[in-house]
Structure 1
């Protein structure tokens, strides 16, 4: 089974940098395969806590090479919750690549473990609208949420703003999953390029 790796994070940075420089994206240094995947960008300023700048992926299996190329840009530029990432922000970014595995149907909305499982929440609201949303496994632990807080936050993420009752929670359909992930800051990306390619990204010279 393939795990998220440094080379995958490098490829995402390569893709985003090339978007602004017009350079050819180097051939990725990891094996092909088909898995669900996500790309998450966060911004770190003045040593503060990383702030989310984009997180988009697919719950369906995709070729890792084309998938990371597509979602590196989609997450950075087309996450509707945030303005597109600008070139001047890249030196402050960290990238997390995630590969999703072990999909299982949960017995109920509490049948998962914080920090171990991500989840896909599906339900039909009182107006008979079908809704769904997902959180990656690290989200609940990073936010310090309980299981109920996590599930209720997912309900809001799915767009339902009505009352969240126990009766509604019992109707939730939960698919839990696990993931492997790798996080790289831009400074580590630059160090990787110096060590393996003997170059410094042009964006570094501009900043």
Structure 2
């Protein structure tokens, strides 16, 4: 097993955390190797409807990160109501381990579908920053320019995105991703 590789057992642990939280029970102990890594946990309902996605760029112990960001993604993502028990059958969970960070890139020095990007820039005395995971641009079928237009807007900049392209400090990263449906989770637990 390669370290920093997302595995189905990591996703199963996210379901363990979710179910324990819904039932107000203690979370079972993880059975996987622990290592420090930044993570994102993503829930979808009915295969494609986003239900929560929260994570961190700060490395920390994997089990601790998964527990924290599973809970936050399921219950604290302000874009969505908290996940409920009746939704379990519709859910899948994705675990993204963030790896291979490369700082100091120009705005167009990355590849759609391969790289996640973090942008930071200053304009008019204000600091801006935002990120998209690697799969976002590919899933939306965006090219580099369209992705930057959306990411700059996500950062809060409301003027023409082309005005700030050359001011962007861009960091690329990649993810190791695993995904598990609730039905697959139940099979694993047998």
* TM-score normalized with structure 1 length: 0.87
Q: Contact 2:11–2:179 (CA<8 Å) still a contact in 1?
A: yes
Q: Contact 2:105–2:172 (CA<8 Å) still a contact in 1?
A: no
User: 1:25, CA displacement in angstroms?
Assistant: 1.8
Structure 2: segments with no counterpart, 5+ residues: none
Q: Contact 2:105–2:171 (CA<8 Å) still a contact in 1?
A: no
Corresponding position of 1:51: 49
1:170 equivalent to 2:160? Answer no
User: 1:105, CA displacement in angstroms?
Assistant: 1.9
Corresponding position of 2:65: 67
Structure-2 separation of matches of 1:182 and 1:174: 26
Q: Contact 2:137–2:147 (CA<8 Å) still a contact in 1?
A: yes
Q: Contact 2:52–2:74 (CA<8 Å) still a contact in 1?
A: yes
- Segments of 4+ in structure 1 off by > 4 A? none
Structure-2 separation of matches of 1:159 and 1:76: 25
Corresponding position of 1:114: 112
1:131 equivalent to 2:125? Answer no
Structure-2 separation of matches of 1:83 and 1:154: 24
Structure-1 separation of matches of 2:4 and 2:106: 29
1:183 equivalent to 2:189? Answer no
Structure showing greater Rg: 1
* TM-score normalized with structure 2 length: 0.94
> Can you list the C-alpha shifts for 1:108-153, whole angstroms capped at 9, x where unaligned?
1110011110011111133x21111111111111110101111111
Q: Residue 58 of structure 2 aligns to a residue in which SS?
A: strand
Q: What does 1:58-97 align with in structure 2 at a 5 Å threshold?
A: 58-97=56-95
Superposition RMSD on alpha carbons, in Å? 1.2
Q: Residue 60 of structure 1 aligns to a residue in which SS?
A: coil
User: 1:188, CA displacement in angstroms?
Assistant: 0.6
User: 1:68, CA displacement in angstroms?
Assistant: 0.3
1:29 equivalent to 2:31? Answer yes
> Can you list the C-alpha shifts for 1:166-200, whole angstroms capped at 9, x where unaligned?
x3111111000011000111111111112xxxxxx
Structure 1: segments with no counterpart, 5+ residues: 195-207
Corresponding position of 2:99: 101
Q: How many residues align?
A: 188
